[in-house]
């Protein structure tokens, strides 16, 4: 019996007639007969086409920071779209949104808007290459920077495929990416201080940028070891490369000023999308005036939908709410309770667990005490993690079906949601322990 209802299963069959895999992003396919189809969402809850209600911890992979269909944001969008949704001209609202971004993000002096995180990282990489006159990009295994070809390398492969950590093999994540682009990328395990020093010594003067997520938001939210981001900052500066911090998941979520504020680091360029507009399509990249000023002076950036009114109006309302109210503090308190409660449940059942990330965006790897990179994470009990996710979904709690994807919290998650989730996990971890052959 599937943990997904009959209407979802029927919808999947219908969708698969006209959409590859029946979904519009590969990540949304959980398998035949096990992929849910959604009807609606409000606050912290989501209902599937079978009418089942879930406490939603996927939050669309992170953008929902206030809550689904958050009235104040939607009202601002409705008000603004009465005056037109796209102009291919710049509006005052758009300038105001960018002024707020500059005020909130410590390293950001100038910004260009985009529509998706993919476009933001793609443009940031172009600007970095233009600024340095170099082509090489250094990225870390397990980090994901969107679907553009430049960094869709070593996002997810078996540890053996990555080769020896001293000289990792960049693994393309898709057929169709020109092999030759592999010559422009160097990969390393995350948190590898020694590897970073070695690569910078050997190639530092050819590297345009080191790009990283602050924590591995696409691999169990593995945190940076103390000093790792700071070391990237020092070494990039020493070798004349740029530091691109991909804050698509951490921006406006772990602090109003993202990881830059949280860790007190200043990258040359930073990318944003998700939480910035509570789910409406808007993204941004920004950085120092010196670097960003290249745009328009021989460096191209643009896009028809970059300043779409729904996205801009939603960002205006969302950023204003984040600035004026202790939203992230509330999320942090609830998230801390959920993280601590989950850890205690695993410990009570004698299961080692490595908790990673931040209260607003966390994950756990079962069977390990600590993880610092994707190679180590591969040794966790992913089968048990998945079994628990499926049992939780049957009981109305929905984390993502992929163990790499963090649990996200939003302002609309209530104390009652946290209590219900802990009660569900308390039951299912006990249950799984009885039936599941542990692999540790
Ligand atoms: C860190 C990071 N960068 C970039 C992206 C790409 O963003 P988008 O899906 O909006 O293109 C994602 C998406 O999950 C992400 O997590």
CATH number for the domain including 99?
A: 3.40.640.10
121 lines ligand 1 (CB under 6 A): yes
Helix residue ranges, H only, 204-257:
228-239
| Residues 53, 184 within the same domain | no
Task: Judge residue 207's burial from the number of C-beta atoms within 10 Å of its C-beta, 0-12 exposed, 13-18 middle, 19 or more buried.
Answer: buried
pTM greater than 0.95 (yes/no): yes
280 lines ligand 1 (CB under 6 A): no
| Residues 278, 393 within the same domain | no
| Residues 239, 275 within the same domain | yes
Residue 277 counted as domain residue: yes
Contacts of residue 372, Cβ cutoff 8 Å, sequence gap at least 6: 190, 191, 222, 225
pLDDT given for residue 359 in this prediction: 98
User: Pick from 290, 106, 134, 305: which is nearest to 207 by CA?
Assistant: 134
406 lines ligand 1 (CB under 6 A): no
Residue 30 counted as domain residue: no
CA-to-CA distance for 157 and 327, rounded, in angstroms?
37
Residue 418 counted as domain residue: yes
358 lines ligand 1 (CB under 6 A): no
pLDDT band at 435 (very low <50, low <70, confident <90, very high): confident
The alpha carbon of 189 and the centre of ligand 1 are apart by a number of angstroms equal to 20
Q: Is 223 left (phi over 0), alpha (psi -120 to 50) or beta?
A: beta
**Domain limits at 214?**
71-324
Work out which ligand 1 atom sits closest to the CA atom of 213.
1
pLDDT band at 433 (very low <50, low <70, confident <90, very high): confident
Best mutation site among 27, 63, 114, 117 for ligand 1 pocket (most ligand atoms within 8 Å of CB):
117
CATH value at residue 367: 3.90.1150.10
Contacts of residue 33, Cβ cutoff 8 Å, sequence gap at least 6: 2, 4, 9, 12
| Residues 148, 209 within the same domain | yes
| Residues 49, 147 within the same domain | no
CA-to-CA distance for 398 and 45, rounded, in angstroms?
9
Q: Which of 324, 343, 365 is the last residue of a domain?
A: 324
| Residues 57, 162 within the same domain | no
Residue 207 counted as domain residue: yes
221 lines ligand 1 (CB under 6 A): no
Q: How many CA atoms lie within 13 A of 280 on its CB side?
A: 28
Work out which ligand 1 atom sits closest to the CA atom of 118.
11
The alpha carbon of 117 and the centre of ligand 1 are apart by a number of angstroms equal to 5
Give how far Cα 108 sits from Cα of 101, 150, 176, 237, Å.
Answer: 8, 23, 34, 17
Q: What total of structural domains would you count in the chain?
A: 2
Q: Known catalytic residues?
A: 144, 246, 274
142 lines ligand 1 (CB under 6 A): no
Q: Which of 304, 324, 344 is the last residue of a domain?
A: 324
Residue 149 counted as domain residue: yes
Work out which ligand 1 atom sits closest to the CA atom of 25.
9
Q: Which of 293, 324, 355 is the last residue of a domain?
A: 324
- For 431, the enclosing helix (H) or strand (E) is helix 415-435
Which single residue is written with the structure tokens 């390293």? 107
Digit-coded pLDDT (tens) for 257-305: 999 999 999 999 999 999 999 999 999 999 999 999 999 999 999 999 9
Residue 23 counted as domain residue: no
Report the sign of the C-alpha dihedral through residues 107, 309, 55, 145, in that order. negative
Residue 5 counted as domain residue: no
| Residues 189, 236 within the same domain | yes
DSSP letter at 373 equals S
Residue 274's SS3 state is: helix
The alpha carbon of 284 and the centre of ligand 1 are apart by a number of angstroms equal to 12
- Contact yes or no for 112/284 (Cβ under 8 A): yes
User: Residue 97: how many CB atoms within 10 A of its CB?
Assistant: 28
| Residues 311, 417 within the same domain | no
User: Pick from 41, 65, 64: which is nearest to 329 by CA?
Assistant: 65
Digit-coded pLDDT (tens) for 33-81: 999 999 999 999 999 999 999 999 999 999 999 999 999 999 999 999 9
pLDDT band at 155 (very low <50, low <70, confident <90, very high): very high
pLDDT band at 440 (very low <50, low <70, confident <90, very high): very low
| Residues 102, 204 within the same domain | yes
| Residues 167, 260 within the same domain | yes
| Residues 376, 251 within the same domain | no
| Residues 128, 161 within the same domain | yes
Residue 202 counted as domain residue: yes
pLDDT band at 439 (very low <50, low <70, confident <90, very high): low
């Amino acid at each position: 019996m599937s943990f997904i209802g009959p209407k979802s299963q029927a919808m999947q069959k219908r969708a698969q007639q006209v959409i590859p895999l029946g979904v519009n992003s590969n990540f949304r396919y959980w398998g035949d007969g096990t992929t849910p189809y959604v009807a609606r969402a409000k606050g912290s809850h989501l209902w599937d086409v079978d009418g089942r209600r879930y406490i939603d911890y996927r939050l669309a992979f992170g953008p929902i920071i206030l809550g689904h269909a958050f009235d104040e944001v939607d009202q601002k969008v409705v008000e603004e779209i009465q005056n037109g949704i796209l102009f291919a001209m710049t509006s005052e609202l758009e300038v105001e949104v960018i002024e707020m971004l500059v005020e909130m993000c410590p390293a950001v002096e100038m910004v260009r808007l985009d529509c998706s995180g993919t476009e933001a990282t793609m443009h940031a990489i172009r600007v970095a290459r233009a600024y340095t006159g170099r082509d090489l990009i250094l990225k870390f295994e397990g980090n994901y920077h969107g679907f553009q070809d430049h960094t869709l390398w070593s996002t997810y492969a078996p540890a053996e495929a990555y080769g020896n950590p001293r000289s990792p093999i960049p693994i393309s994540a898709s057929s169709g990416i020109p092999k030759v682009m592999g010559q422009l990328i160097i990969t390393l395990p995350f948190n590898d201080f020694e590897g970073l020093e070695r690569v910078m010594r050997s190639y530092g003067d050819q590297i345009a940028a080191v790009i990283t997520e602050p924590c591995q938001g696409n691999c169990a939210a593995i945190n940076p070891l103390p000093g790792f981001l700071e070391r990237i900052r020092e070494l990039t500066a020493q070798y004349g490369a740029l530091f691109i911090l991909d804050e698509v998941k951490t921006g406006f979520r772990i602090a109003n000023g993202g990881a830059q504020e949280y860790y007190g680091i200043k990258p040359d360029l930073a990318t944003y999308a998700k939480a910035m507009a509570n789910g409406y399509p808007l993204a941004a990249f920004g950085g120092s005036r010196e670097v960003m000023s290249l745009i328009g002076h021989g460096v191209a950036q643009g896009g028809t939908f970059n300043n779409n009114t729904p996205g801009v109006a939603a960002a205006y309302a969302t950023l204003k709410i984040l600035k004026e109210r202790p939203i992230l503090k509330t999320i942090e308190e609830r998230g801390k309770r959920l993280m601590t409660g989950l850890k205690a449940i695993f410990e009570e059942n004698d299961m080692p667990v490595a908790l990673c990330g931040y209260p607003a965006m966390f994950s756990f790897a079962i069977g390990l005490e600590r993880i610092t990179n994707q190679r180590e994470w591969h040794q966790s009990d992913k089968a048990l993690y998945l079994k628990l996710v499926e049992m939780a979904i049957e009981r109305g709690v929905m984390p993502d079906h992929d163990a790499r994807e963090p649990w996200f919290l939003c302002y609309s998650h209530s104390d009652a949601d946290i209590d219900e989730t802990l009660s569900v996990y308390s039951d299912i971890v006990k249950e799984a322990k009885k039936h599941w052959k542990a692999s540790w």
